[in-house]
Structure 1
Amino acid sequence: MRAYYMDDLPGDQRLPHDSGNEVSDELLKSIGVLHWNIPIDEAGTFKDRVLEVAKERNYKNHDVIVISKEALGDEYEHKIKSFYHEHMHEDEEIRYLLEGSGFFDVREHATESWIRCHMSAGDLLVLPAGIYHRFSLDEKNRVRTMRLFKDEPKWIAHNRGQATDDNPYRIDYVKSIVVQ
């Protein structure tokens, strides 16, 4: 995974929007973002490592989704736009890319800057509950992703606004990164 600050130029969300300013692992950790690269191998040992991470973080369920024009049909454009709205979740978001590539953009709280995380197959990303973020495919327009869940599979996005700024999960998140 490669992380960098996004440029502020308008244009297709699937383009790199690379400012040229890299973001360190330490900075990502300071805002609660964790990542691993667990290469996909033919023997399937990557599954054991992903499940180890899931167990460490108390995740009991997972599913696999495909985001592409072929997989989503007429819903494709609507889904892509909804993923790109700035939002937060009340649970951690854990994603492991099995195929393809895409971007998770995370909001750096102190500066309100976007940090773009370009992920490809083998990358595992953990976003803390309460962090503002969004997702976009890149120019390849396809990704197959394992989503991990603490309980039953669910995905509830709370789009950014006054209600999310006042959400207890958001407040706890901000306190956790300001204290560090």
Structure 2
Amino acid sequence: MASSIKDPREEVLQAWYMDDSEEDQRLPHHKEPKQFVSLEQLAELGVLSWRLDADNHETDPELKKIREERGYTYMDVCEVCPEKLPNYEEKIKSFFEEHLHTDEEIRFCAAGSGYFDVRDRNDAWIRVWVKKGGMIILPAGIYHRFTLDESNYIKVLIVYDSTNDSLTVAN
């Protein structure tokens, strides 16, 4: 009998192949017909994911374990929205510029939601919708970009060590 137990990460993370539309970057941009990407397919690209306790991230034992295993001792908080981010329009455009890092990029959504777009091995864009409680790790060397969704708000925890170069959201 097949298991019908749903992966709890699916409540806070969804992924799909994007269309080529030039419409507002904050829209979902699903292909027609929709082509969803499983969390396992993301993992094959090196994109790791978790569902964590966003309301108690300071004491979440799973987040503590992940940070210890990966050697991440620092954590910053960044709120991306017109009211809280200086130079919002300029910053949101720069976040949506395709780029890569020499270290992995770790983002935990403590509130709100947004899109992390990653390239697959054939250079097609996959949109990863991260909602409150979702955490992703983008591997070093993967082309990616970020944008808000239509809610226009995300509060992310940026986890890193002192040598990490992936602090583009915090800077």
TM range (shorter): 0.7 to 0.9
The letter of the residue matching 1:144 is K
Match runs of 1:18-57 below 5 Å: 18-19=30-31, 20-41=34-55, 47-57=60-70
Q: Greater helix share, 1 or 2? A: 1
Query: How many equivalent residue pairs?
Result: 154
Does residue 125 (structure 1) correspond to residue 139 (structure 2)? The answer is no
Question: What is the aligned partner in structure 2 of residue 177 from structure 1?
Answer: none
Deviation at 1:40, TM superposition (A): 2.8
Shift of 1:8: 1.3
Structure 1 runs (4+) deviating above 2 angstroms are: 43-48, 152-157
**Cα–Cα, structure 1 residues 14 and 44, in superposed 2: closer, same or farther, change >3 Å?**
closer
Instruction: Note the C-alpha offset of 1:117.
Output: 0.3
Runs of 5+ unmatched residues, structure 2: 1-12
SS at match of 1:70: coil
TM-score w.r.t. the length of structure 1 is: 0.80
C-alpha deviation, 1:45, in angstroms: 7.2
Alignment correspondent of 2:80:
67
Decide whether aligned partners of structure 1 residues 6 and 46 sit closer, same or farther in structure 2, where only a CA change above 3 A counts. farther
> % of aligned pairs identical?
43
* Residues 10/64 of structure 1: CA separation in 2 closer, same or farther (3 Å cut): same
Aligned AA (1:7): D
Q: Which of 106, 111, 119 is the aligned partner of 1:94? A: 106
1:30 deviates by 1.2
1:163-178 mapped onto 2 (5 Å cutoff)? none
| TM-score normalised over the length of structure 2 | 0.84
Equivalent position of 2:148 in the other structure: 137
Offset at 1:18? Answer: 1.2
Q: Which has the higher strand share?
A: 1
| Structure 1: stretches of 5+ with no match in the other structure | 158-180
- Alpha-carbon distance between aligned partners in 2 of 1:28 and 1:38, rounded to the nearest angstrom: 18
CA RMSD of superposed structures (Å):
1.8
- Match for residue 119 of structure 2 among 97, 107, 117: 107
Q: 1:113 to 1:100 in 2, by over 3 A?
A: same
Give the counterpart letter for 2:78 in structure 1.
I
Separation (CA, whole Å) in 2 of partners of 1:106 and 1:114: 6
Distance 2:91 2:120 in 1: 24
